[in-house]
Amino acid sequence: MSELSTQKRNSLPKSDFGLPEERKYPMPDKSHARNAKSRASQQEEDGRISKSQKDKIDRKADRILEK
């Protein structure tokens, strides 16, 4: 996965995030999308995000991975 600096992350549009309202789970490319899906699964298992949030992240990542 490519490195995503703070400056690059901050310059991403909200539409590049799995949870755009919180600017969490950035997905500027396929490797970040795969990583977001993995992290979202872990966070749901730990009770840190809801199932609906995980589903939202997965849908966004799946769209990127299909390109």
Q: How confident is the model at residue 67 (pLDDT cuts 50, 70, 90)?
A: confident
Q: Give residue 17's pLDDT.
A: 98
Q: Give residue 62's pLDDT.
A: 98
d(CA 6, CA 37): 21
Q: Who contacts 31 (Cβ-Cβ below 8 Å, separation ≥6)?
A: 1, 2
Q: How confident is the model at residue 2 (pLDDT cuts 50, 70, 90)?
A: confident
**pLDDT tens-place string over residues 3-62:** 899 999 999 999 999 999 999 999 999 999 999 999 999 999 999 999 999 999 999 999
